[in-house]
């Protein structure tokens, strides 16, 4: 994909996420790897609904800011995923209501944040790690992701929002949407006699779709 097309795709997908209420105001940030090893990143203080392809922050392969507006303050989240997951071609961070709400529950499972309600969350995300609360922009968030040594494609920042890495912009956006949809199902069924997937069914999905699961 040419850089021009990548810029347009990034802004189009960000706008779609915004239009459907998956992030709001100037929350959230998104980045994508360019063919030369650099990055395109949403600028600080911008809305997903109004990103300008020409003003995206541009980094070279050495991590130097070489063009566009100043980047999001959450760059540590993005660089941590790119540095630890060689397959990462895009990273998306949103503030969607249902997954944030689920992260506030006292009984949330830190090692496997999403309950196994459907196969799709497993297929697209693997196990999601719930990380503790950090101040927005705190470099310690990146340190926490690096501490996972590339073994998770998605994390949930408690009281804040999910961060997902994918091979492409499309896969990263699809996966973070699935995370929010699964969190919504979990809240809708909370307190009900739910029949989720059994351990055997989970393992069948993991094997069938070659999911990173045991890390």
Which one is catalytic: 3, 82, 120, 170?
120
Which one is catalytic: 74, 177, 178, 180?
74
pLDDT digits (tens, 9 = 90+) for 62-104: 999 999 999 999 999 999 999 999 999 999 999 999 999 999 9
Among candidate residues 39, 65, 43, the one with its CA nearest the CA of residue 52: 43
Q: Return the biggest CA–CA distance within the chain.
A: 54
Residue 214 confidence (pLDDT) = 77
Average pLDDT over the chain reads 97
- 180 counts as catalytic: no
* Domains (range + CATH), the chain: 3-208 (3.40.225.10)
- 82 counts as catalytic: no
Predicted TM-score (pTM) above 0.85: yes
How do 90-93 and 29-33 pair as beta strands?
antiparallel
Q: How confident is the model at residue 13 (pLDDT cuts 50, 70, 90)?
A: very high
Please give the average per-residue pLDDT across 161-185, as a whole number.
98
Residue 151 confidence (pLDDT) = 95
């Amino acid at each position: 994909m040419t850089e021009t097309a990548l810029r347009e795709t990034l802004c189009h997908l960000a706008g779609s996420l915004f239009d459907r209420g998956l992030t709001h105001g100037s929350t959230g940030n998104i980045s994508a790897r360019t063919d030369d090893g650099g990055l395109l990143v949403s600028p600080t203080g911008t809305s997903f609904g109004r990103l300008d392809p020409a003003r995206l922050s541009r980094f070279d392969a050495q991590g130097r800011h070489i063009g566009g507006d100043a980047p999001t303050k959450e760059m540590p989240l993005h660089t941590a995923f790119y540095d630890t997951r060689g397959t990462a071609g895009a990273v998306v961070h949103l503030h969607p209501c249902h997954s944030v709400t689920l992260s506030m529950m006292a009984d949330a499972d830190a090692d496997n944040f999403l309950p196994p309600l459907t196969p799709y969350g497993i297929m697209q995300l693997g196990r999601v790690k719930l990380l503790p609360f950090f101040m927005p922009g705190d470099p310690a968030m990146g340190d926490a992701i690096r501490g996972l040594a590339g073994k998770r494609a998605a994390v949930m920042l408690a009281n804040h929002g999910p961060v997902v890495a994918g091979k492409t912009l499309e896969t990263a956006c699809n996966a973070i949407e699935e995370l929010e949809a699964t969190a919504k199902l979990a809240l809708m069924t909370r307190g009900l006699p739910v029949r989720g997937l059994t351990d055997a069914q989970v393992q069948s999905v993991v094997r069938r779709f070659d999911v990173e699961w045991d890390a």
